Amino acid sequence: MGCFTFVKVMMILFNLFIFLAGGALLGVGIWVSVDGTSFVKVIGPISSQAMQFVNIGYFCIVIGAILVILGFLGCCGAQKESKCLLMLFFAIVLIIFIAEIAAAVVALVYSSFAESLLRAWVTPVLRDDYGKQKDVTGIWNTTMSELKCCGFTNYTDFSDSYYFRKNNDTFPSFCCNTTAAVCTETVAMNSRIQGCFQQLFDILKENAHIVGGIAAGICVLEIAAMAVSMYLYCKIDGKAYE
């Protein structure tokens, strides 16, 4: 019984932290999405990276909402010793765990397939929204500037795009060497600037041990959370027959 109480208290405290962290992340995400300008003023200027806040806001809202739900289910399930809430907590964590494993398998074993899926999603965004949507343009400008890359695959991603047509059939300056005054198709082709996907892939390979360590740590936490929730679930079930 002492072990059950200890595990129950730790489950409550851990999920209370998750709930509060998720609430804070959700609040920041809503603030950034609704009024990104005031958020930038509060945290101060961060050069062109401030342009990313709109999309980061949506990301924070999604992650924050998931954490709030998980924290609520885990905390209340342990506190009230509710088998239903504990099972919901277990099911959600299990779904997230399976999705992460599936994504890792697709990314590692079927890397070309993963690249095709990403290209099918990213290329239309570059073609239709780059140069038109402020947040999309800002994110890609920052990415291409920091990674010294051009587009998803290369400069051809911008061929016949909104940006291309609105700028006298020229490409973003990131697609050409800095010495080029105007980034025409010929200059872009001769510059041979690498696509951002390949750059990101190379960075991931160089830091594979860090990425792997973080992923392993998250998986261990998820497995521990599922094990604890099942332990409490089974103990509650056993108490019903005492």
**Longest distance between any two alpha carbons in the chain, whole Å:** 82
Q: Return the minimum-mean-pLDDT range out of 147-156, 175-184, 228-237.
A: 175-184
Residue 203's pLDDT band, with cuts at 50, 70 and 90, is confident
Cβ burial 198-219 (10 Å sphere, 16+ → b, else e): ebeeeeeeeeeeeeeeeeeeee
- Residue 137 sits at the vertex; the CA angle it makes with 136 and 140, to the nearest 5 degrees, is 85
User: For a pLDDT cut of 90, what percent of the chain falls above it?
Assistant: 5
Which of 198, 139, 193, 188 lies closest to 167, judged by CA? 188
Q: Are 175 and 150 in contact (CB under 8 A)?
A: yes
Q: What residues form DSSP beta bridges with 212?
A: none
pTM for the structure as a whole: 0.62
Phi-psi region of 210 (alpha: psi -120 to 50; beta: other; left: phi over 0): alpha
How is the chain split into domains, by residue range? 1-80, 95-242
Q: Are 197 and 152 in contact (CB under 8 A)?
A: yes
- In this predicted structure, what is the pLDDT of residue 197? 82
User: For a pLDDT cut of 70, what percent of the chain falls above it?
Assistant: 79
- In this predicted structure, what is the pLDDT of residue 49? 44
DSSP string, 94-156: HHHHHHHHHHHHHHHHSHHHHHHHHHHHHHHHHHHTTTTSHHHHHHHHHHHHHHT--SSSSGG
- In this predicted structure, what is the pLDDT of residue 211? 67
- In this predicted structure, what is the pLDDT of residue 137? 84
- In this predicted structure, what is the pLDDT of residue 179? 66
**What's the rounded Cα separation, in Å, for the pair 60 and 55?**
9
- Residue 64 sits at the vertex; the CA angle it makes with 55 and 224, to the nearest 5 degrees, is 130
Q: Which pLDDT tens digit goes with each residue over 8-58?
A: 888 888 888 888 888 888 887 787 667 655 555 555 544 444 444 445 667
In CATH, what class is 95-242? mainly alpha
- In this predicted structure, what is the pLDDT of residue 163? 92
Q: At what angle do helices 134-147 and 196-206 cross, to 10 degrees?
A: 50
Residue 212 pLDDT > 80 = no
Q: What residues form DSSP beta bridges with 46?
A: 48
Q: Are 175 and 191 in contact (CB under 8 A)?
A: yes
- In this predicted structure, what is the pLDDT of residue 162? 92
- Rounded mean pLDDT of 193-208? 77
**What's the rounded Cα separation, in Å, for the pair 128 and 172?**
14
Q: Which pLDDT tens digit goes with each residue over 84-140?
A: 888 999 999 999 889 888 877 776 666 666 667 777 778 888 888 898 888 778 778
- In this predicted structure, what is the pLDDT of residue 41? 56
- In this predicted structure, what is the pLDDT of residue 42? 56
